[in-house]
Structure 1
């Protein structure tokens, strides 16, 4: 069995694609989605206990893979790992030994393919009545081929460390990687109802801070707790992360100083 263990999903998907009728192809879409989910979630588990499953278990794979990329910027790129066991004056000497191949989808491909498969797993909406999404075996075969390619990976790599910090707004756990510290990255709170942004600032080799400076929060009209609005669009509804009170967020501006009125 492969390291991702998706053989059964792929075997069933292959039979459905070969059958070729619409009902069979819809079943193939489901098996292919299961394959994508299994591969991405297993890759995230390699980060270890510092990233509990509760952070990503309800997420779709494309969001989960973006999270992984925020920790490890090259996590969606294929890598071949070779190692040399002999050195001379600190430099590798002699034969190199192949450890294995790491393979993963690109975020762009995953987002497109996962959404395409999902289009065929529900009834056509009223908006799609005139131009319903078309399902065909060739499109599903292309997705199958890429999943099968990734499933042949022989190793799983994770090359980062994770530190837990509190969100400055809702106090939920946030997860910051060594890569994000080195890049002075911006990290969002993982709680969907919050989403507050933080600047990661490295202080020295062992310390960093997650600053909320420069971003916007306002008090809830019901419970008084601050909630973030920096990612909120004009006229958008935003629920308080604490009590659930819904607010409408609107922006306005005027010239300053205010012109004097003519008498």
Structure 2
């Protein structure tokens, strides 16, 4: 099977954001076009995330391909991976002689800033509200688009998109987990990374002896396993 085609969606998102910034300097119809450009920037960023997950060819990704709404797409990806819409700060350290991380400052540190499902849905809907023909009621009342409200909302969305596009790293995917031996029967246990990162702990149980365990991260960020009733 040939690898999925990769499109430069992040660059497209950046161009749409730049277009929006220029249009927001104008008035009237230009402001409406700025809203469209911001919507397109949001969509491009989320489709880029989808493109990253497409490599897994999972059922969740296949379902997400059928939707164009960015909030819907990202929501499906979050069901597949709870970290899909979470910003992540990462450090890279060299491996020391003992196999652990080298002490001292990391040789690389950066943040993968991401949009959340809730933010995407609200921002996309907000920009959409300025792209519709005014209703007959609004026309009868002589109620034009409130340009001040539009500019304020567009500025808020632009700032967040710019922050995401300035990320030092992006499209990080954390897979796998920590492997342990059950302290009671020595059977193999694997704990997913997602709950450890999100909550600082993860619950698991041994499929061999049915003992419930809790894996926690200590102050140094190292995982330790303890009985669930003692955690």
Provide the residue aligned with 2:116 in structure 1.
106
Q: Contact 2:92/2:109 (CA < 8 Å) preserved in 1?
A: yes
Superposition deviation, residue 204 in structure 1: 6.3
Q: Distance in 1 between matches of 2:153 and 2:38?
A: 12
Do structure 1's residue 79 and structure 2's residue 98 form an aligned pair? no
Question: In structure 1, what is the equivalent of residue 25 of structure 2?
Answer: 18
Q: Partner residue of 1:193?
A: none
Secondary structure of 1:155's aligned partner: coil
Alpha-carbon offset, residue 75 of structure 1: 2.2
Higher strand content, 1 or 2: 1
What's the TM-score, normalizing by structure 2? 0.61
Q: Which residue of 1 aligns with 2:46?
A: 40
Structure 1: tracts of 5 or more residues without a match: 162-177, 183-201, 206-263
Counterpart residue number, 2:152: 138
Could you tell me which runs of 5 or more consecutive residues in structure 2 were left unpaired when the two chains were aligned: 1-7, 177-190, 196-204, 209-231
Residue 117 in structure 1 maps to residue 127 in structure 2: yes
Aligned to 1:87, what secondary structure does the other structure show? coil
User: How many angstroms does 1:101 deviate by?
Assistant: 2.5
Q: What's the counterpart of residue 14 of structure 2?
A: 7
Distance in 2, matches of 1:109 and 1:60, equals: 13
Contact 2:93 2:106 in 1 (8 A): yes
> Scaled by the length of structure 1, what TM-score is found?
0.54
Q: Which runs of 4+ in 1 moved over 6 A?
A: 202-205
Give 3-state SS (helix, strand or coil) of 1:91's partner.
coil
Offset of 1:90 from its aligned partner? 3.8
Residues 33 and 117, structure 1, Cα contact 8 Å, conserved in 2 = yes
Q: Check the 8 A contact 2:87/2:114 in 1, yes or no.
A: yes
Between the aligned partners of 2:125 and 2:40, the Cα distance in structure 1 is 13
CA distance in 2, matches of 1:22, 1:83: 48
Greater percentage in helix: 2
